[in-house]
Structure 1
């Protein structure tokens, strides 16, 4: 067996797959208070070079990686072991994953409740399915994001605003986006918030905004005809896929007033200028 220094861990959460080089990196990522998707963890050794090259070709460099499960085929990672894990917030209680099933001599992911169906085969004589309850993620790694854009003239001087919040603090974000339409400003505000959430280490995010266009295009419910919108949507989706869980929904404007206030302040900023305020709750 390869040495432990060559070990890697494959974590599937909903339709997102993360690849980590250290078990300690995933100790705090178990499940989510904002998503009911199952979590599965596998262990492998000596990540194949062709896999590294494939991940890089998807725009992913270094570890940890994250990639859409729809882009994962059965032999991408080679042989994987179903991996038990410890809930860091319980007193030594070992928690298993109930999303594995034995089928045709192999351990496979039960994808009946997951989007982007794919499976990771293992050797049935040396691996086993784990049963048990689902761990709960520390709220330190979960957040909510409200986003909004403003344009004085549509097109005209525009700004992006976002409110990023967890249980202990709230970030108020503003970015000047130059002369743009309101739709561009809306996308830029979502991108601003997602980038900041990833920078702060959040792995699970619930997003709300009053732009029906952005919310529906991100979910693939509406077609995108404008090339500029398509580029912005692609950028936002790439950021979305780096979270272990992501949910987005449309809200009425009156429930998005905090983000709207930041967007209107951002109109006065230079294009690309970002401001951030942080308040402890």
Structure 2
């Protein structure tokens, strides 16, 4: 493998292919649109950069129409580690398929020739199974209750491994206590993370009760809390890697803001915002 400082990511969305240098930008795209496909390469040739510079795709260093992708345009590529680990049999099929698609094109053609030139169309160029995040995401959760019990809301924030914001989520809970709101926000966040196919997650919240009970360090004396704790634990067990830690309230401002906005939502209504940098 090449030097990580020279690494770049080839991202396909529909018939557009973009090049990225920042892995956090790719993670944000995966969160917003898991249908895209990603490959990783090293030391992009300067001729290729010059060839692609006239195209544009948000946050990418350059882009090109997928029909113009020809042999060795991006140099050697490997399946990106963001993708879900496959079985040995699946890996063999993917590697064989990827090599055939990416390394075999129009014989003897110039990879930097004009897209207008006639060339065989490769419908499945760079096609791989749907991608998923294989990096650790950060989940921040918080619950709010105006009256305890009172009108309540759940707030969730998802961040990339480098701390950049990629997703906000809030849900109106109707009348509930603060502790119920805290658990509901955690459950909401874990469900969404699993739907986004996140496999590694680090959870942070300012509810010591929830964090300690999920860790198994505190007992659940209230039946309602025990039921919610059971649901949360069942969800956490679906992740490949999971941790949860208590933080002070001042270190959880984004999730707190979402929870307080959610208080004014009708019960069951969910609002979400995907950050597209």
TM-score class normalised by the smaller sequence: 0.5 to 0.7
Q: Partners of 2:170 and 2:187 in 1: how far apart?
A: 12
Correspondence for 1:145: 139
Correspondence for 1:244: 240
Structure 1's unaligned 5+ residue stretches are: 1-23, 31-40, 44-82, 93-137
Distance 1:208 1:169, change over 3 A: closer
Correspondence for 1:155: 149
Q: 1:166 aligns with which of 156, 160, 169?
A: 160
Distance 1:28 1:85, change over 3 A: farther
Q: 1:261 aligns with which of 244, 249, 257?
A: 257
Q: CA RMSD in A?
A: 3.2
TM-score, length-normalised on structure 2? Answer: 0.53
Aligned to 2:259, the other structure's residue is in SS state: helix
Of the structure 1 ranges 257-266 and 165-174, higher mean CA displacement relative to structure 2 is found in 165-174
Correspondence for 1:28: 83
Q: Partners of 1:213 and 1:85 in 2: how far apart?
A: 46
1:176-215 to 2 correspondences below 5 Å: 176-215=172-211
Contact 2:138/2:203 (<8 A) preserved: yes
Q: Which has the higher helix share?
A: 2
Q: Which has the higher strand share?
A: 1
Structure 2's unaligned 5+ residue stretches are: 1-78, 100-131
Moved over 2 A (4+): 26-30, 83-86, 138-142
Correspondence for 2:228: 232
Distance 1:222 1:142, change over 3 A: same
Contact 1:178/1:270 (<8 A) preserved: yes
Q: How far 1:258 moved relative to its partner? A: 0.3
Contact 1:169/1:280 (<8 A) preserved: no
The structure having more radius of gyration, on CA atoms, is: 2
Aligned to 1:280, the other structure's residue is in SS state: coil
